[in-house]
Amino acid sequence: MSVKNHKLKIGISIGDPNGIGIEVILKTLQNKEILDFFTPVIFASTKLLSYQKNIFGLNSIYFQGIFKAEEAVPGKINVVNLWKDNVSINFGVSTNESIKISKASLLAAVDALKQGWVDVLVTAPLNWEAMQTQGYNFLNHTEFLEDILKEKAYLLLENNELRIAFATYNTPISKVPETLSKELIKKQIKALHTTLIQDFCIEKPKIAVLGLNPHAGENGLLGKEEISWIEPAIRESFDRGILSFGPYSADSFFSPNIYSSFDGILAMYHDQGLIPFKTLAYEYGVNFTAGLSVIHTAPNHGTVYSIAGKGIADAKSFKQAIFDAIKIYKTRNEYVNLKSNTLQKTKIEGIDVTIDEDLPEEGEI
């Protein structure tokens, strides 16, 4: 069966059961017709999921209990039973039990992904601060997956035509200037360029690079970082065949007639990219861990303890994360198949996806 027609197995970790993770999972799967598009494999227990489905009045949902992910049945909501005991749920707070459940679900889901028992991974939100009490010194799923897979990755926020990557991410604002360098910015430009080609089927992606300082430094009057690092990185990337432009002033860039002209955006730090993304794309925004050999997506929200257990959580972002994972998986496979062929040029559904042999190889920049 071709990848195009293959019904993918979606590995799902439940995150913190005291947050909104299970609620958005169940709301996403409550329409039976959605099982025509993929086979869900949830790593948890049928007892826990049944308990929460009753709380939220989602009684039309039925689970297929299995012991291994490879036993997943198409057309069913498969649940890999990781434990037999009942679970104490205390909505709105992190507990030792909820942390252990979060950890067990995530580890089992990632293992299934590594083994090829599921095709992609979609993770519900967990409390990474609480996870550090269990020795998991990571700030997000991207850092965790980098460590466990021994691969380099970066976070890409994406929603239809809005895609934002970062030169620095979880870096204190006071340390951002000293962390930035021309080489780091060039590296992130190239990583984003590669992702846009192989995972989003964009032949010649245009990348906008934001400045660090107000008004992108105002020609050095408000800071020298643009002149010293950002402009040279953009120029050298462009000279190597990457359509990179900027630096743009972040305060005016995110008007629709400007940002929509680009396929990808490189922000310099966390809030510079997160604030406009959550403003413009919050309900349907998706976190994509780009750069890995496997596909991982997540909704663009956290555990949201403040509304946990109330039945009012919005599942749009989680649902979008599933369908974006499927789309990225299939697009990447089409790209890999194209690269393996001797053909230099072809068409996929009317889109020119020429492989540009003049682009720099890894390590040349």
Q: Who's near 363: CB < 8 A, 6+ residues apart?
A: none
Q: Give per-residue pLDDT as tens, 223-274.
A: 899 999 999 999 999 999 999 999 999 999 999 889 999 999 999 999 999 9
Reported as a pLDDT band with limits 50, 70 and 90, residue 353 is very low
pLDDT (0 to 100) of residue 358: 41
Reported as a pLDDT band with limits 50, 70 and 90, residue 354 is very low
Angle between helices 316-340 and 182-198 (to 10 degrees): 90
Q: How far apart are CA 332 and CA 201, in angstroms?
A: 8
Q: Is 9 helix (H, G, I), strand (E, B) or coil?
A: strand
Q: Give per-residue pLDDT as tens, 174-183.
A: 999 999 999 9
**1-151+291-336 and 161-283: same fold?**
yes
- Topology at the third CATH level for domain 1-151+291-336: Isopropylmalate Dehydrogenase (3.40.718)
Q: Residues of the chain with pLDDT > 90: what percent?
A: 82
Secondary structure E strands in the chain: 8-13, 38-44, 63-66, 77-81, 120-123, 154-159, 162-166, 206-210, 243-248, 264-267, 286-290, 296-299, 347-348, 351-352
Q: Where are the domains of the chain?
A: 1-151+291-336, 161-283
Cα–chain center distance at 252: 26
Q: Give per-residue pLDDT as tens, 40-97.
A: 999 999 999 999 999 999 999 999 999 999 999 999 999 999 998 889 999 999 999 9
Structure tokens at 167: 């030169």
Q: How far apart are CA 365 and CA 360, in angstroms?
A: 7
Please answer whether residues 12 and 295 qualify as being in contact, where contact means their C-beta atoms are separated by less than 8 angstroms: no
- What is the model's pTM? 0.90
CATH architecture type of domain 161-283 = 3-Layer(aba) Sandwich (3.40)
pLDDT score of 345 more than 90: no
pLDDT score of 355 more than 70: no
Closest CA to 316 of 91, 23, 42: 23
Give whole-number Cα distances, 35 to 32, 57, 69, 152, in Å: 6, 20, 16, 33
